[in-house]
Every structure is written in structure tokens, then in C-alpha cells.
């Protein structure tokens, strides 16, 4: 593994963080903390974009169904974000690594002044060896506001953060092994693409919907993230997040998942 200072953004989805029964997947969180702390100790500058606030909120209140009302979703996100950060802080401290919370809306990254303030914060955290944990500020970002505050999903948020931070690589951990030419859940003959250098209309058509009862993302938002990274001349890797130590293989350049760019 290279020793030069590299900047990485890692995004982990709700489907990787929340078990099918709605409880937080502590084993995944622990492996993620171990992996990112290890990279941090090696001199990598790492930011984590984490979904899962609403899923964690559901688990905290012992609920299994995501409510339709936006206010109730916001309340669950407020509860769950606290729980997620408590778990993250605990697990990362086990590996002698400090974390910080950064909650964003699209407006913050769209306006030059607020964007620069946020980027300055990231830079100081990196200099201090602290891992920023980023999520959307769900309690204020709602679709019916007059201005656009929401990211379509944290996939898109992770790409925007990676581009703004001029990260070398965006690693998206999901519940799928990579990008397939067809939906592998529907067609066993679907083939995984090892590398994608251009997103074609056929690829866009192959993207399905949300894959998790607790999350909002799907392959469509991952392709948007990939396109944003490729447009910026950067690389995105989509791989299975069941065992986050796969990140070691990604940064070592081993053939894992699908490489975009």
C-alpha cells in the first residue's frame, strides 16, 4: 500500500449499516472503524459519509416501518444521528482515532461563503488526524422547501464532498458487489463490469430502484455519483460493504467491485 498522503472519501449506505431486522450492524461498524482508523494512522486523509440516521432512529424506538410523514422522518433522523455518532465515537476511540460530525445541506455546498467555511473545517480536521463523519442534515432538508436543500441520496452527497475536497478516490460501500449490465437480483446471467469509463444510456437503463427498506438510495444515485467523479477527473469504486476491510484492497489497487473512471 502506498505511503504517500492520499485523500479518500468513503460512503457507507443504510443497507450496510442496518440489519434486515432493523438493528444496527455493530460488526460492520466495528470493521469500518478499524479500517478507516488504520488508514488514518498510515497517513491517509479519510472522510466518511454515513447514511443510516433514520434506520438507527427506527431501531432506537423499536420500530420496523419507516413513516411517510416528513416530520416523523426528521424526528427519527434526529434521534438516530445521535445514536450513530455515539456508536461511531465509541468504536473509533477503541482504535485511538477521533471523529467529528459534519451535517450538510445542498445550500451549504452551493454558496461560496458557507462552502469555504465547511472546506476550511475539513482541512483543519485532516491536519489534526480527525476523521470527519458526514451526513445530510435531515432535520432541515425537506423537499417542499422553496430552495433546493436536499441531496437525492447520500451517494450524491458523497460525490459532491469528494469533488470539493479534491479527494483522490470515492469508495462507495453498498449491498451489491459492483455495477452489473442487468439487475442481478432479477437475472442470474447478469455480468459485473470491472471498469466503466463512460456511462451509456444502456447502463442508465440497467440501474434499478432502492434496494433497502430502511434507505433511500439505489443504483441510479450511485451512477450519478460516479458521473460527478468522472466529470471531475476522479475515480469512484463501488463494492460490497458487508466487510468494510475490503477498503484495504481498494486502496491497494486490487480488482474489487466496479471502478468508474
Binding residues for substrate: 51, 138, 154
State the cell numbers at 53: 440516521
b vs e for 160-196, b when ≥16 Cβ sit within 10 Å of the residue's Cβ? Answer: bbbbbbebbbbbbbbebbbbbeeebeeeeeeeebeeb
State the cell numbers at 244: 468494510
Measure the CA–CA gap between 177 and 5, rounded to whole angstroms: 28
Binding site: residue ranges? 11, 51, 138, 154, 174-175, 216-222
Binding site for ATP: residue ranges? 11, 174-175, 216-222
Q: State which H helix or E strand residue 135 sits in.
A: strand 131-136
CA distances from 199 to 162, 173, 187 (A): 19, 20, 21
Q: What is the DSSP letter of 213?
A: S
| Residue 172 φ/ψ, nearest 5 degrees | -105, 115
> Cell numbers 442496518 label which residue?
18
Any residues with CB less than 8 A from the CB of 27 and at least 6 apart, and which?
none
Helix (H, G, I), strand (E, B) or coil at 226: helix
Amino acid at each position: 500500500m502506498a505511503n504517500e498522503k492520499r485523500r479518500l472519501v468513503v460512503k457507507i449506505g443504510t443497507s450496510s449499516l442496518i440489519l434486515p431486522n432493523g438493528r444496527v450492524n455493530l460488526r460492520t461498524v466495528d470493521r469500518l472503524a478499524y479500517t478507516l482508523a488504520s488508514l488514518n494512522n498510515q497517513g491517509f486523509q479519510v472522510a466518511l459519509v454515513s447514511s443510516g440516521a433514520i434506520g438507527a432512529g427506527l431501531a432506537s424506538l423499536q420500530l420496523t416501518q419507516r413513516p411517510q410523514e416528513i416530520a416523523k422522518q426528521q424526528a427519527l433522523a434526529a434521534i438516530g444521528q445521535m445514536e450513530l455518532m455515539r456508536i461511531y465515537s465509541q468504536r473509533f476511540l477503541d482504535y485511538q482515532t477521533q471523529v467529528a460530525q459534519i451535517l450538510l445541506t445542498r445550500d451549504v455546498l452551493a454558496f461560496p461563503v458557507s462552502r469555504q467555511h465547511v472546506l476550511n473545517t475539513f482541512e483543519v480536521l485532516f491536519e489534526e488526524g480527525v476523521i470527519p463523519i458526514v451526513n445530510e442534515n435531515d432535520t432541515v432538508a425537506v423537499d417542499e422547501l422553496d430552495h433546493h436543500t436536499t441531496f437525492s441520496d447520500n451517494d450524491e452527497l458523497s460525490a459532491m464532498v469528494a469533488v470539493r475536497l479534491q479527494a483522490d478516490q470515492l469508495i462507495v460501500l453498498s449491498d451489491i458487489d459492483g455495477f452489473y449490465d442487468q439487475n442481478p437480483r432479477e437475472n442470474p446471467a447478469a455480468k459485473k463490469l470491472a471498469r466503466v469509463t463512460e456511462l451509456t444510456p444502456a447502463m442508465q437503463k440497467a440501474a434499478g430502484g432502492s434496494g433497502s427498506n430502511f434507505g433511500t438510495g439505489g443504483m441510479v444515485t450511485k451512477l450519478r455519483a460516479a458521473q460527478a467523479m468522472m466529470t471531475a477527473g476522479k475515480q469512484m469504486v463501488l463494492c460490497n460493504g458487508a466487510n468494510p476491510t475490503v477498503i484495504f484492497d481498494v486502496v491497494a489497487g486490487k480488482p474489487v467491485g466496479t471502478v468508474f473512471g
